[in-house]
Amino acid sequence: MEPGQPENLVERMQRGDLDAFEEFFNTYKRPVYATALAITRDPFLAEEVLQDC
């Protein structure tokens, strides 16, 4: 399994690897924000959703 694969990141996060949490967040923050923005149509609320994740 490749180091950056989602399954590997989850395993690393389960072990408490803080670098894995950062990598996971940096990988998925844009698509999560874009989805939240499409749903809320409000940049402030979309940012709040991203911060709550």
Q: Looking at the domain assignment, is residue 11 inside a domain? A: yes
Domain span at residue 37 reads 6-52
Integer Cα distance of 5 and 24 in angstroms: 10
The count of domains in the chain is 1
Q: Assess contact for 4 and 27: CB atoms under 8 A.
A: yes
Decide: 49 and 28 in contact? Cβ < 8 Å: no
**Inside any domain, residue 1:** no
- The span from the CA of 4 to the CA of 20, in Å, is 9
pLDDT at 52: 87
Q: What is the pLDDT along the chain (53 residues), one digit of tens a residue?
A: 455 577 789 999 999 999 999 999 999 999 999 999 999 999 999 999 999 87
CB atoms within 10 A of CB 15: 8
- In a domain, residue 30? The reply is yes
0.75 surpassed by pTM: no
Residues 34 and 24: their CA atoms lie apart, in Å, by 16
Any domain includes 22: yes
Q: Domain for residue 12, yes or no?
A: yes
